Homo-oligomer: A and B are copies of this chain.
Amino acid sequence: MFVIITYDVNEKRVGKVCKKLREYLDWTQNSVFEGEITIGKYKQCMADLNNIVNKETDSVYVYQVKNPRNIKKIVHGREKNPLDLFL
């Protein structure tokens, strides 16, 4: 399936969440990741994230689209390069 994951977590945990998501998905921009992922990997990713975030204060939003053909992505303006993350 195709997923988009966005997060709003305490700055102390931003780095950990970002690093973990990079193991599973492609970074898009700011706190947004996307990509195709198997159900098994997705469950593993969510289990990993649950060990990092504070459920009382942090938020992780997941949008799932079973068939990637049902979602279309359009970039207006500058397309960020994944390397921007490290600059």
Contact = CB atoms under 8 A, between A and B. Distances in A.
Contacts of A66: 70
Interface residues of A, number: 40
Kindly report how many copies of this chain are found in the complex they form together: 2
Given A6-B6, A30-B31, A78 B63 contact: no
A23 to B, nearest CB: 17
Given A6-B6, A59-B75, A67 B70 contact: yes
B75 A61 contact: yes
A54 B77 contact: yes
A14 to B, nearest CB: 11
A75 B28 CA distance: 19
A74 B70 CA distance: 18
